[in-house]
Amino acid sequence: MNNDFMTPPNHVNFLAKKLFGAAGEIIDVSVAYLSPNGGGPAEQHTHNHNHLFIVTKGEAKILLGDKEIIVKKDESFLVHGTIPHSVWNNTDGETIMIGISVK
């Protein structure tokens, strides 16, 4: 584990890592299981809300316009919905992500 994890006061055998601060009002929360070569949508898309992606297993590649962002296990990334985007598994194994849609 990296140095971003810490044990909060009055906790025992407990490691925590803050992934993100305030990001807006939650619309919905989903969990996604991406098989090797899985992801989508095939064509990058846009919408009015944002996505906060949290990778819990594996590694995700977020295509963000002409950029490529890699999000590793125990990391997060906020995608602004107005920028064309899609998300893909970046490993040979399964990737698991939490997706939080926010206003």
Mean pLDDT of 8-17: 90
Residue 2: pLDDT band by 50, 70, 90 thresholds?
low
Which range among 1-5, 61-65, 76-80 shows the weakest confidence by mean pLDDT?
1-5
Is the preceding peptide bond at 36 cis, omega within 30 degrees of 0? no
Instruction: Give CA–CA dist 84/45, Å, rounded.
Output: 5
Topology of domain 26-102, CATH:
Jelly Rolls (2.60.120)
Half-sphere exposure of 78 (CA within 13 A, CB side): 12
**pTM metric for this prediction:** 0.85
Q: Please say whether the beta carbons of 64 and 85 come within 8 A.
A: yes
Domain ranges of the chain: 26-102
Which range among 9-18, 28-37, 63-72, 90-99 shows the weakest confidence by mean pLDDT?
9-18
